[in-house]
Structure formats: structure tokens, C-alpha cells
Amino acid sequence: MPNPWTKKNPAMSLFLSGANAWAGAARGAWLREARRQQARAMEAGVRLASEAWLSALTPSAPKPKKPRRRR
């Protein structure tokens, strides 16, 4: 007697094909968003680092002199 678990099932095949396609699309969307967030984080980190170095290497502006009061 043949084993019923090893028989081909067209309905199950269609269902699994659709599920695999959906999972692939979801994985692609998730990876795109992860890459977008990584790029945004790197851009912000580079900007902060460059601002810190520039502020450390440039001299501070002299303070304006206060006008003297007359008596």
C-alpha cells in the first residue's frame, strides 16, 4: 500500500509556492529598510564626528568687548 504522506498534493504545492513568494517579498522589504536605516545612521555618525573634529581644531572666536560706561 502506498504511503499517503509521500503523494503529490497540487493544492499544497500552490499554497507553499505562494507562501514562499510572500516570504521572499517580505524579506526583501525588510532588508531594504534595514539598509536604509544603516545608511542614515552612518550619515549621522559621520556628520557628528566631522563637527566634533572641526570644532576641536578651529580656534574659538574672540569675545566682543563690552562698551565702557561713562561716569
52-71 average pLDDT score: 82
pTM higher than 0.75 = no
Question: What secondary structure, in 3-state letters, does the chain show?
Answer: CCCHHHCCCHHHHHHHHHHHHHHHHHHHHHHHHHHHHHHHHHHHHHHHHHHHHHHHHCCCCCCCCCCCCCC
The per-residue pLDDT for range 6-60, each reduced to its tens digit, is 888 889 999 999 999 999 999 999 999 999 999 999 998 888 888 888 888 887 8
Alpha-carbon gap, residue 47 to 65, rounded angstroms: 33
Residue 31's pLDDT is: 97
pLDDT at 1 over 90: no
